[in-house]
Amino acid sequence: MSKPLRSPLPYPFPLTLLYQDQHVVILDKPAGVPVHAGPKGGPCVEDCFPLLSRRKDGPWLAHRLDAETSGCLAIALRKQPLLAMQKAFADKTARKTYWAVVEGGPDAEQGTIALPLTKTTAPTGWRMITSPDGAPSRTDWRVLGRGGGLCWLELSLHTGRTHQARVHCAAMGWPILGDTLYGHPHPQGLHLLARSLMLPLTPPVSATASPRAGMHAALHTCGWVESETVDYSDGF
């Protein structure tokens, strides 16, 4: 397994490399930074691409994260690893796990959410909803801690639908803390972390992101201890 390399990128916003080789980079994406430039402008992950490679072609995003989600984001520096990563995501051999702090939480300790999702548009904007006619979507979950009316979950997404983790948790009655679209606002924003990413490349690539500072208080309430060595790896 490849060892992660941490290195700060000072421009255009604080950014950390969780893993880097000549083919692949895994970034620790900050919350609030979109992967693509939006219609209103502002910084985005693609702004840092010239710092990652001087080649005329690439880099390329291998997948996406919501703007408000922090954590592991894979970027291909060459076309061949891009195709390999895209195939791994399509074949569901890439493993993505998330940490979420939710309001309330499930009664059980682990389970599966299998609710189809579809996009709906209204004058106020678009959002994802559960629908029998939607695309099949599956999220496995496991409780890592509880406290103060909150629950700390590990989420394993077997499909990569837009807003999947957020909609699935909200549909179960436990919206993610700080989700302004499917739940309620919070001063520290959306409590959703792309915790780990494992890619079946040659050699295999993996990375793990730490929770951003804004999530620490809620995680501590649920029992997380920053320095402890408990194995929080996916148990599914």
Catalytic residue ranges: 66
Nearest to 167 by CA among 114, 128, 217: 128
Helices (H), 46-78: 49-52
Neighbours of 163 (CB within 10 A): 19
Tokens of 4: 């992660």
166 three-state secondary structure: helix
Let me know: does 195 contact 165? Beta carbons within 8 Å. Answer: no
Distance from chain centroid for Cα 145:
19
